[in-house]
Amino acid sequence: MDTLDTNLDANVLNPPQRHAKAKRGSVSFTQIVVYLMLIGGSVVMIIPFIWMVSTSLKIDQEIFGQTLRWIPSQFDFANYSDAFGSINMGRLFWNTSVVTVIDVAAQILFGAMAGY
């Protein structure tokens, strides 16, 4: 029997030891710190989005007022129609769609060629 067979037989006879699983419900200090950091990072990332949506629904006096409010006193959805009406949003959407479709098609084409 050569060396390779001996090593294989030894691995078959002695499988690697498995680590004991942690008990259910036990949470380590490291896990708590990691979860707190993830929650904190999530809050930091979501706050600008919430502020943007909140501001888009406010009237001008409330946006430029002295007090900061998270929830508008009255919801003004006319801001969206004003934004879409003041610029040619249809044309901008079309331009974005064309660029995106061309980019995705090129990525698929060149990615397939590179992978093959």
- Model-wide pTM > 0.75: no
Provide DSSP, the chain.
--HHHHHHHHHHHSPPPPPPPPPTT---HHHHHHHHHHHHHHHHHHHHHHHHHHHHTS-HHHHSSSS--SS-SS--THHHHHHHHHTTHHHHHHHHHHHHHHHHHHHHHHHHHHH-
pLDDT confidence band for 15 (50 / 70 / 90): low
Query: Is the pLDDT confidence value at 13 over 70?
Result: no
pLDDT confidence band for 116 (50 / 70 / 90): confident
pLDDT at 72: 85
**Do residues 64 and 45 lie in contact, with contact meaning Cβ atoms separated by under 8 Å?**
no
What is the rounded average pLDDT of the residues 69-90? 85
Give the domain ranges of the chain.
24-75, 87-116
Mean pLDDT of the chain: 85
The pLDDT tens digits of the residues spanning 38-61 come to 999 999 999 999 999 999 999 888
